[in-house]
Amino acid sequence: MTEEEAKKVEVEVEVTKEKPPAPADDSKALAIVEKVADKSTPEKPIAEKQGGSSIRDLALARVETEKRNSLIKAWEDNEKAKADNKATKKVSVILSWENTKKANIEAEMKKIEEQLEKKKAEYAEKMKNKVAMIHREAEEKRAMVEAKRGEEVLKAEEMAAKYRATGHAPKKPIGCFGA
């Protein structure tokens, strides 16, 4: 019977070796930290180690270390995310402030441009009025010159008629005593 029990044990060992490992859950991946053994103290084979409790203690310590490291990593990622969100929010506030200031300045510039356009239109109207007034004065002066010329022509015609009627010739004024 001992041979049969040994065969059963071997079969059970082989069955456990053939079983594939369960797929890893990547949703909460843990950082695996491998412990580097000191070169000064060579590891003892499992048979030479002092009991199974020390192996279990080492495994528990390793699991505890991995758990602590994964918590630290999660905390670090959380803090980085907080810092990124805070910086993004501040950049957004600055961008909003910049856009508001730009809009205010553009509105002020548009208002000033409208005022300048209004002044330009007023000055253009004044200049047109001045040009019209100068043109009117020029027309008046031309009319006065034409009237005076007409009077002088009429006077010359009357004098010519008088000289013809009397038969006298007009006197020439002397060049140096000209009228």
- pTM, whole model, 2 decimals? 0.42
pLDDT (tens digit per residue) in 37-74: 555 555 555 444 455 789 999 999 999 999 999 999 99
Per-residue model confidence as pLDDT tens digits over 7-23: 554 544 444 444 455 55
* Residue 172: both structure tokens together: 């020439």
For residue 18, the model assigns a pLDDT of 47
- Model pLDDT for residues 85-141, shown as the tens digit of each residue: 999 999 999 999 999 999 999 999 999 999 999 999 999 999 999 999 999 999 999
What is the domain partition of the chain in residue ranges?
51-166
Gap between the terminal Cα atoms of the chain: 171
Q: In Å, how far are 81, 85, 86, 93, 105 from 90, measured between CA atoms?
A: 14, 9, 6, 5, 23
At position 99, the amino acid (one-letter code) is N
